[in-house]
Structure 1
């Protein structure tokens, strides 16, 4: 068995002019980059920032919203807005439970002077729901989204433009999150 493995190794070496498969395929850089990212992710999962977020999500799931401290509430709604729009767009934001916090998110953005993000959120709401109120209940919101799904396809291009603008201006929201972290000592930021 050992001789067969050694023979295969030698055959591969000869066929590839002495290059390993990742080098031959041109994927060595990607493999090394992936290893570095994996290590960074592993370290991040041990950071105060990650632990704070996981505990905050648990707190939101288990406690009454009114019992959660205001800075934590603000941090939560801004983070889920950014995460949902980056991950799947405004329609994902409204479809998922993150849409439960739409009205509060508007207030937080206004309170912190984030007019650009607020304007994009309001425009997305208008495109998706028109003049209808955004239901706070996730199931009701999903039923309504299902009803207006046919119209949704017509506005997808406009939503993509809004999402691109949101992503381009999201640095200000990230700065706001860092400001909340520093002002209220929520956690030690991960470098």
Structure 2
């Protein structure tokens, strides 16, 4: 980027990069959230609600990096940059952006898994054949799974149910959280 400031092309490029990184961060978060429940990535749903928060965070971080870059010149460099250059690693704004994007990806994966494993409040749905927990919203449906309330375990026998068809449900707090029974492998699967 030029020292004169951000040009229109630079701004457009930053918006495109921020959008791509935003989608990537959401994908990694959702992938790790779903993997806790042993659900495949085909249920990842990109919508306005899932994109806006990470995109705003990324725009903020990119703006912060650009602000830092504009304030610091060769006479004074930020502490992390001085340390990296001292040990022989050449640092520029693109290196910092790369590290920032990589860190966001790692953080998104960790937070996705952590949010799923620490979730305590679930929508419990009463059906004729038992109790089910809503584990994820996909489009206009919920992915539900049977639950053993006494053991605090979700059985990974998922169903996709239209939200409009749910009649008898309530939000229940599971103080100890909910575990997911490990899925069967092909040798355990009954025909």
TM range (shorter): under 0.3
Higher relative contact order (CA 8 A, sep 6+): 1
Q: Would you tell me which structure has more helix in proportion to its own residues? A: 1
